Amino acid sequence: MENINKLQLEAVAKLLNAPTINWQHLLETIISSFDCTTGTIHFLEAGTTLLKLQAQVGIPDFLLPKLSEIPVGKGMAGIAAERKQAVEMCNLQTDNSGVARPAAKETKVEGSIAVPMLLQGQLYGTLGIAKPTSYDFTTEEIATLLKIGEAMSPFSTTDKV
């Protein structure tokens, strides 16, 4: 597993070092390396507590307006941003915790995770990925996603919060 994590981080680093970052391609690479089908990258908008959608894969068109702007503290991405820690659900479809917003179930994903993009404790955004089946992300996978978020942070177009 350690070699897989290293390869995932190297792939992300290569894309982040390109002259122009293609956030869509970066998200597709992350999703693929974790065997997921859906994902989002949100950047924290400067001077606000709003997460703005930067890239997405697998989100139905009718849900995009609801995901384009997420307040910190709302939904999985917002709570991950607020707590500055990963928020995970083994099966989003059967979750009754109230963490996932009702519209999230319309994505038809089950195993999902949102991690904050943090650098030196400062929030820059969130990264979320999901699988179409129930799944618990491992401690190693969560650590790798947090490292990916940290690597992405300096390239986001936001101010620190």
Helix/strand/coil (H/E/C) assignment for every residue in the chain: CHHHHHHHHHHHHHHHCCCCCCHHHHHHHHHHHCCCCEEEEEEECCCCCEEEEEEEECCCHHHHHHHCEEECCCHHHHHHHHHCCCEEECCCCCCCCCCCCHHHHHHCCCCEEEEEEEECCEEEEEEEEECCCCCCCCHHHHHHHHHHHHHHHHHCCCCCC
The domains located in the chain, with CATH, are 2-155 (3.30.450.40)
Of 47-61, 72-86, 101-115, least confident by mean pLDDT is 101-115
Find the length of the chain.
Answer: 161
**Quick one: pLDDT at residue 3?**
56
Separation CA 79–CA 126 (nearest Å): 10
The per-residue pLDDT for 94 is 53
CA–CA separation, 3 vs 48, rounded Å? 38
For the chain, give the mean pLDDT: 85
What's the pTM value of the predicted model, to 2 decimals? 0.87
Mean pLDDT of 12-40: 93
